[in-house]
Amino acid sequence: MRRSCRLLAWGLLLALFDFRIGGIDLLPDALGYLLALIGLSRFADRHPALRAGQFFAAGLLLLAVASFFGSRGISTPLGERDLLVTPARLSYSALAVALSLALTCCLCVGLGRLAETSGSRALGGQFQVLLIFSLLHGGLLLFLLPFGLNGYRDLTLGTALIGGALGIVLTISLIVLVRRAGRLPDIDAGDVHLS
Partner 1 sequence: MTKQRRIATLVILVLAALLIGISWFENLREYKAAGLPASRFLDHRIEAGGEPGESFFLYYAANNDDKRVPIAFENDALPNLHLDPVYLYGDYGRLRLYRALASFRPVDEDAKPREEPLVVTAMKVYYANGDSAEMPIGELIVNAGAAVRSDDTAVLGTSKPAASTEPGGSASAASSLAEFASGGASSNGSGYGSFTMNESATLRSVTSAYTAVLGDAFRMEISVNGKVSPLPVAVKKGDQVKIAYAFFVTESSKLAMMPLSLRLAAELVDDQGKTQLRPVWAEHAPYPTKTALRQFAKAQRSDTP
Residue from 55, 92, 133, 147 in contact with partner 1 (CB under 8 A): 147
Is 105:97 a contact under the CB 8 Å cutoff? no
Q: Where are the beta strands (DSSP E) in 41-114?
A: 74-75, 81-82
89: amino acid identity, one letter: R
| Secondary element (H or E) of residue 172 | helix 167-183
Residue from 68, 121, 143, 185 in contact with partner 1 (CB under 8 A): 143
Q: Which is nearer to partner 1, 137 or 180 (CB)?
A: 137
Residue 149 near partner 1 by CB under 8 A = yes
48 φ/ψ angles, rounded to the nearest 5 degrees: -55, -35
Instruction: Return the SS3 of 24.
Output: strand
Q: Which is nearer to partner 1, 16 or 98 (CB)?
A: 98
Least CB distance to partner 1 at residue 92 (A): 14
Q: 40-79 mask for partner 1 (x: CB under 8 A)?
A: ----------------------------------x-xx--
Residue 125 near partner 1 by CB under 8 A = no
Residue 146 near partner 1 by CB under 8 A = yes
34/61 Cα distance (integer angstroms): 6
Is 125:147 a contact under the CB 8 Å cutoff? no
Q: Which residues bind partner 1 (CB under 8 A)?
A: 74, 76-77, 84, 86-87, 94, 135, 139, 142-144, 146-147, 149-152
